[in-house]
Amino acid sequence: MRQGSVLAPSGTFGSVFRLLVSKFRRTLIHIVSFSQGCAEQKRENEDQFAWLEAYEAALLEFNAHRASLAIDTAVKAIDRRKQLLGFSSKNAHEWQLLEHATRTLLTIRTHRVLPAADNTPGNVAHDASRTA
């Protein structure tokens, strides 16, 4: 950059200008870093609560075949969360909550005599749900 040009003014004004540009650049870098951190936190939160949304959907579903599909989806989401989480003493409470949710869903399936969800035509559960 040339001294005295628009890009790099000279003198006191030039010093102040360069200082402002460097401050602005650092502030902009902090803003970008913060927004990236927020995006990562949002993704983590979405992963954390995806199983809960699937669990609630399974509990609200009353049609036998659709309930079976919802329970399977919820159990898979819970398993994904457990895999992402891994077991440690720091997350024992959440792990215990996930285990309880899985047991609850499987108990609902057992007591309501829900078939395992299988969409393949010719499957007894699939054909029974279509005729019900």
Global pTM reads 0.41
The answer to whether residues 116 and 64 touch, using CB atoms and an 8 Å cutoff, is: no
Residue 11 has pLDDT above 50, yes or no: yes
The per-residue pLDDT for range 28-57, each reduced to its tens digit, is 666 666 666 666 766 666 666 777 777 777
Whole-angstrom Cα distance, residue 23 to residue 27?
6
**Nearby residues of 10 by Cβ (< 8 Å), 6 or more positions away:** 3, 4
Q: Where are the domains of the chain?
A: 11-131
User: From residue 132, how far is each of 42, 63, 109, 121 by CA, in Å?
Assistant: 41, 9, 17, 15
Amino acid making up residue 100: H
pLDDT at residue number 125: 47
Whether 8 and 14 have beta carbons less than 8 Å apart is answered as yes
58 touches 105 (CB < 8 A):
yes
pLDDT of the residue at 9: 52
Q: Is the pLDDT of residue 86 over 80?
A: yes
pLDDT for 132 beyond 60: no
